Amino acid sequence: MKCEKSDAKCGKIQCHSAAKKPKGTNAVSIDTTIQTDGIEVKCRGTFVYSTQDGQGDLPDPGLVMTGTKCGEGKVCKDRRCQNTSFTELESCIVRCHGHGVCNSNGNCHCSRGWAPPFCEKPGLGGSVDSGPVQYD
């Protein structure tokens, strides 16, 4: 399904990589070539299969995180670029100590090098909801 142009920064992350496969056993890369203004652009995204035990409730690591800035005074939430009040944004920044973003559960998702729950101590990143982020 095509998204609104204003929401384009809040969906699947597209990347350039020489890796054949994303990290993780249940993820595969999907390559697509599109034409825009007469120029061919190769896009690479990910698709995450549900787990083998059938639970399948793992968050898709290829999606932009909730709270990611997508415009002036706007953040991504539910895959859409939405207005946010300065108070909400300021509260989130304070709660996560400037080293993470608030996720859809209202918890901090800490950047690499900072530990949950409030991104104030050194750590691997991630959140209490998703666990530590895995890096190569």
The predicted pLDDT at position 18 comes to 67
Average pLDDT of every residue of the chain: 76
The predicted pLDDT at position 113 comes to 92
**Cβ-proximal residues to 125 (8 Å cutoff; 6+ apart), any chain:** 100, 109, 110, 111, 112, 113, 114, 115, 132, 133
Q: Which residue has the higher pLDDT, 83 or 116?
A: 116
The predicted pLDDT at position 116 comes to 93
Q: Residue 11: is its pLDDT beyond 70?
A: yes
* 90-134: pLDDT as tens digits: 677 788 988 988 887 778 889 989 999 999 999 989 998 887 766
Please choose, from the candidates 84, 56, 65, the residue with its C-alpha nearest in 3D space to the C-alpha of residue 10.
65
Q: Which residue has the higher pLDDT, 76 or 2?
A: 76
**Structure tokens that stand for 94 in this block:** 């304070």
Q: Which residue has the higher pLDDT, 78 or 126?
A: 126
- Give the mean model confidence (pLDDT) for residues 40-44: 75
Radius of gyration, alpha carbons of the chain: 16
CB atoms within 10 A of CB 88: 13
- Give the mean model confidence (pLDDT) for residues 30-56: 70
Report the b/e string of 21-54 with b at 16+ CB within 10 A.
ebeeeebeeeeeeeeeeeeeeeebbbebeeeeee
Q: Which residue has the higher pLDDT, 37 or 17?
A: 37
* Backbone φ and ψ of 80, nearest 5°: -130, 150
Indicate the DSSP class of residue 57. -
